[in-house]
Amino acid sequence: MTTTSSHASTVPPQPWPAPRAGAPLRAEVTVPASKSLTNRYLLLAALAQGPSVVINPLHSRDSQLMLAALEQLGAAVEHIQDWEHSGVAAVRISPIPNLDEPTPGAEATEPRIDCGLAGTVMRFLPAVAALTGQRVHFDGDPGARARPMGAVLHALRDLGVEVTGDGAPEHGEEGCLPFTIQAPTGITGDAITMDASASSQFVSGLMLAAARMPHGLTLRHAGDAVPSLEHVEMTCKVLSQVGIEVSYPALHTWKVEPGPIESFTVRVEPDLSNAGPFLCAAAVTGGEVSMRGWPKHSTQIGRRWTELLPAFGASVTEHPETDATVTLSVRGGSLRSPGTVDGTAELTPTVAALAALCTEPTRFTSVGHLRGHETDRIAALVTEIRRLGGTAEETADGFEVLSPVSHGGLVHTYADHRMATFAAVLGLVVDAVEVQDISATSKTMPDFPALWAGMIDRTPDGQP
Ligand SMILES: O=C(O)C1=C[C@@H](OP(=O)(O)O)[C@@H](O)[C@H](O)C1
Ligand SMILES: C=C(OP(=O)(O)O)C(=O)O
């Protein structure tokens, strides 16, 4: 296993005192690149015809795990500090060799993929591993073993792949990490039906590798609604960006044509989900936070901040910047709850921080699948809101925040980056909030403490 874990140490983390904003925050901030886009581009580069360049990739635990895994599967990775003197970093990926004629057993060692706690690694790479013909072992953090994987493993079995070690067929349970993948005779099927109601990543993971399957893939979803459909939309868009044909032959059905993937050069957008805590800082302190480089059109679910923040009483303005981007400014107004928020997916913990500061209740619906995220986020959010004196209840498909938090305390983080940033937002306006393990943010934003402090320090007029 690699040692990228921020939780590998047995020394308990020091609580992080969340900085309190003494007055409305006024700052311009920049956030690192999108995790979801970075890991999709890195994976597709490893399946391409020749070397590809990903400019402005995310550097975080999840992207390091993706890179390390792709290297183990045979891709070569070169880090470029200053891409074409632009001052921006890049990574050049040379693809996994011999994918068209995989030779089982040709590799001397059997790759061992460390998924950490990254959904994009554990759900996206099994299909890639199957394409190599090698015997590949997958495992991850203790928390990763609790995350649902069954639909991906069933789908791979349906495509002729051998999956062992997950315990699922013997026990009739959903599969989970650890497991071993091998497709000694290649991928034989071309169509699958899966239940992707527990994670959109089940769909994305199969689609991302599908162009390199001998017959492409038709994937049909059967079951309750697929959550976070924006992420499937992102997958389709990224696939078409690199020249892969995707169509929609029927409802809840996606078809990926087989074919080569041309080399590509692409620049990654900032992470609009990770922008959330910074934008919410304006909303909760009644200040103004601006972000340059906000994409005018994005498949990221974080584009929804432009509707969510006004629903909580903030105003959002877009200032022209380039053909592709605007500067987004959020100005806090008087915080109020919209009553219900639906399908907020990975934005939920951050939206919950807003809800936990409103006097009116907020009901979160269609987010039941958050129980299979980095932690059971429904239970975690309800527990931590109660710990700080608020009232919250779990519901069948989400939770309700019934009364606001009233005092500080030590917020538990459950190795979840978004629980850490949830607490940081509350700490801006609630005295004595401490974050149990701020290093959880290294999953997608290792610089979070410095960026957060920078936002507060840049506020003029004698801020803390
Ligand atoms: O495809 C992706 O990059 C993601 C899909 C979503 O997963 P779920 O559908 O499991 O929520 C999201 O929550 C996750 O952070 C990233
Ligand atoms: C659910 C998340 O991550 P993952 O990609 O590990 O599923 C998240 O980042 O909120």
* ipTM entry: 0.99
The residues, ordered by sequence, that sit 6+ positions from 122 with a Cβ below 8 Å of its Cβ are 115, 138, 140, 144, 147, 149, 177
- Whether 6 is in a domain gets the answer no
Return the pLDDT at 166. Answer: 77
Cis peptide bond upstream of 102, omega within 30 = no
**Which neighbouring-strand residues pair with 180?**
137, 164
C-alpha 377 – ligand 2 centre gap (Å): 11
Amino acid identity, position 392:
A
- Indicate whether residue 427 lines ligand 1 (CB < 6 A): no
C-alpha 247 – ligand 2 centre gap (Å): 26
Specify the DSSP element, H or E, that contains 326: strand 325-331
Low-confidence residues of the chain, pLDDT below 70?
1-9, 103-108, 167-174, 459-464
Return the pLDDT at 12. Answer: 84
Separation of alpha carbons 438 and 357, rounded Å: 21
Separation of alpha carbons 50 and 45, rounded Å: 8
**Domain-terminating residue out of 267, 284, 319:** 267
Same domain? For 24 and 50 the reply is no
Same domain? For 66 and 192 the reply is yes
> What tokens were used for 172?
């009739």
Separation of alpha carbons 239 and 205, rounded Å: 12
Atom of ligand 1 nearest to the CA of 301: 12
Q: Per-residue b/e over 162-198, b at no fewer than 16 CB within 10 Å? A: ebeebebeeeeebbbbbbbbbbeebbebeebebebbb
Return the pLDDT at 79. Answer: 98
Separation of alpha carbons 377 and 119, rounded Å: 14
Same domain? For 306 and 450 the reply is yes
Please count the helices (runs of H) and the strands (runs of E) in the chain: 13, 23
C-alpha 104 – ligand 1 centre gap (Å): 32
**Which neighbouring-strand residues pair with 29?**
291
Return the pLDDT at 294. Answer: 98
- Indicate whether residue 61 lines ligand 2 (CB < 6 A): no
Atom of ligand 1 nearest to the CA of 228: 9
Task: State the pTM of this model.
Answer: 0.95
**Structural domain count, the chain:** 2
Separation of alpha carbons 92 and 94, rounded Å: 7
374 is an active site residue: no
Same domain? For 283 and 157 the reply is no
Same domain? For 211 and 288 the reply is no
- Whether 11 is in a domain gets the answer no
> Given ligand 1 and candidates 344, 346, 350, 374, which is best to mutate, with the most ligand atoms within 8 Å of its CB?
346
Same domain? For 117 and 213 the reply is yes
Q: Domain of 391?
A: 16-32+270-457
Closest protein CA for atom 1 of ligand 2: 373
**Domain-terminating residue out of 267, 296, 313:** 267
Query: What region does 160 belong to: left with phi over 0, alpha with psi -120 to 50, or beta?
Result: left
| Phi then psi dihedrals of residue 241, to 5 deg | -60, -35
Tokens 């459950």 locate to 414
Same domain? For 425 and 335 the reply is yes
Closest protein CA for atom 8 of ligand 2: 346
Atom of ligand 1 nearest to the CA of 198: 10
- Whether 427 is in a domain gets the answer yes
Closest protein CA for atom 10 of ligand 2: 346
- Indicate whether residue 274 lines ligand 1 (CB < 6 A): no
Annotated binding site: 35-36, 40, 119, 147, 199-201, 228, 346, 373, 377, 418, 443
CATH number at 143 reads 3.65.10.10
Q: Which of 269, 346, 374, 384 is catalytic?
A: 346
Annotated binding site for 3-phosphoshikimate: 35-36, 40, 199-201, 228, 346, 373
The gap between the terminal CA atoms of the chain, to the nearest Å, is 41
